[in-house]
Structure 1
């Protein structure tokens, strides 16, 4: 067997489980396929002949982006790393909106959750909730903050505006309003089925963190299928260190396996040479290169990207991982009008059952059939009027 490929990971925009902070709205996680020797050579090329001289002992995007030649440095890195990096970016508020379905609705629907994922209810909820909370300080901000608090403690008492009918969604936030009706009606089920998360303090502390899911995506549906075996080096990360042992099951695992993600299944592969290693960038040149790419991605996919960096966007786009979370491609942005109408019908139906304390799943497949027939007939009538 050939030597394992070294894949190094670093992030930009890390705020842990605080996804609603407005000062860093985007999270970026980058992976580079690079040997230590090649990384040192690239760092020397970056430093060579610079005026003013780069004084810092290690290269970090947070420092270099203040320089006038940052676009030139970033362009050099991308050109030298062409085809040898990948990255994932996430709009944090959109990622948070996706968690609303996962931790408020799925605990109630988990016995038949694949039905709802297949039809896209999670996408409808994520997209609509995102639009309700996209602006920091907006009408739904208090609800969002209490939802975030609940997803850290899993104690409904910490979120009275969500569970105790003490707060209402804004008038134009129809989906969020139905989600609140659902959560209030099924609050005891949600509490009971998230109890294990509440009792696992270490897990609950990082349940909103995006690092572990980004690492998993880049490995099992990225560099894992590309190489026979990987050696993984991550920048020091408390969330990852807390769950690193879960990756030990991939050590020496050579076969492909199905990876279920919402409404799709992909073929994945990951064969690790050993446990995930952690290090600091000043000791590991490959981490410095990953940091530069992550920092650049956070700038270009964030708010108000600098005009001087725009020529580099196309290079980054080619390496953007498909599991990115951005408003133009995630949430309900890819759903048809019929899919949205049908899922809204089902959401209202579920909220109505919640208010009555009824079984949320009995006959729900037939409800979906009715919803799509109804949505399709409405769509046909609208088309006939044109």
Structure 2
């Protein structure tokens, strides 16, 4: 049976404002351990470490051509997908989903139609600090994140106060539901049990959507035994366990259908799995490139050389965009609202 090996990077749970981890993502590659070991020996014949780790290798300039060559061979010869998101943008997207959309839904307006939620979140992420006041916007996002986690009346009131402390009249359509009305439907959505700002589910759903498209038939997943991947492991089991027959159109080019072709997920020791190590290389390089392009860190692979290696369907990103017309076209006719409701009801319960 075909097997995708996956690895993640940048996971900080509900804390999307973590200063040291701006980006989060995961990679999947359909490669067996024999082929993975062959590629590692081909590109790093003198490797002394028992485990290939991207972060350690990328620190030395002499390794950069070898890493680029390895990634090129993976992307050229094997089924691969990498997903990366800007966690601060994801927080503004969740703000639109829970602190804005319920107000308009009650009044018969669909904020999800043709990706309007993504466009609104992009505008808020990029222009919010200037329009609302930089420290005020920061506090608003921090209060929202805390409210999504703690759910108490105290933190909900603090969130409303933070909204009112901004220059909210600059964009009343977005901040007004909280600042002007303290909209009970929005506060109720934020206070929904089990919902928080952890985006592992979103990362995994995007990865699964591509694996489902790439797999020729039933397939399985293996990943490392790390603490962070324990969350991904349980979410994968939930996806596998959902036997409903249902399909959602996620974007212009992607759909997600249940039941999945994915049948099994297994945790393995990455030291004994060259294939999982190569998934680490893919996601490590992508996260490093994101930090370099954002001006947050220097060094590592040339991000432009890395990005040029990817095919269109091998890289998925969730980043803010001011090309609102392109976003509308890409998400026209999608079923985002229905998909969110379905996931909330069927897949997003409490973790063990």
- Secondary structure in 1 matching 2:92: helix
Q: Which residue of 1 aligns with 2:70?
A: 77
**How large is the Cα RMSD of the aligned pairs?**
3.3
| Counterparts in 2 of 1:36 and 1:308: CA distance versus 1, 3 Å | closer
Q: Which residue of 1 aligns with 2:340?
A: none
Q: Which residue of 1 aligns with 2:110?
A: 115
- Secondary structure in 2 matching 1:327: coil
Q: How many residues align?
A: 313
State which of 83, 91, 100 in structure 2 corresponds to 1:88.
83
Q: Which residue of 2 aligns with 1:292?
A: 281
Q: Which residue of 2 aligns with 1:129?
A: 124
Partner Cα distance (1:61, 1:211) in 2: 21
Could you tell me the TM-score, scaled by structure 1's length? 0.70
Q: Which residue of 1 aligns with 2:333?
A: none
Larger radius of gyration: 1
What's the CA shift string for 1:195-215, capped at 9, x where partnerless?
442xx3xxx4xx322222222
- Does residue 316 (structure 1) correspond to residue 305 (structure 2)? The answer is no
Q: Which residue of 2 aligns with 1:326?
A: 319
Partner Cα distance (2:72, 2:175) in 1: 48
Partner Cα distance (1:161, 1:145) in 2: 10
Q: Which residue of 2 aligns with 1:106?
A: 101
Contact 1:218 1:321 in 2 (8 A): no
- Does residue 183 (structure 1) correspond to residue 178 (structure 2)? The answer is yes
Q: Which residue of 2 aligns with 1:272?
A: 262
| Counterparts in 2 of 1:181 and 1:112: CA distance versus 1, 3 Å | closer
State which of 196, 213, 216 in structure 2 corresponds to 1:225.
213
State which of 153, 157, 163 in structure 1 corresponds to 2:154.
157
Deviation of 1:296 (Å): 0.6
What's the CA shift string for 1:162-196, capped at 9, x where partnerless?
2246742247x833x54332025244323434544
List gaps (5 residues or longer) in structure 1: 340-386
What's the CA shift string for 1:30-56, capped at 9, x where partnerless?
11111121112222223303xxxx443
- Does residue 43 (structure 1) correspond to residue 40 (structure 2)? The answer is yes
Could you tell me the TM-score, scaled by structure 2's length? 0.76
List gaps (5 residues or longer) in structure 2: 330-352
Contact 2:101 2:111 in 1 (8 A): no
Q: Which residue of 2 aligns with 1:372?
A: none
Q: Which residue of 2 aligns with 1:382?
A: none
Contact 1:5 1:230 in 2 (8 A): yes
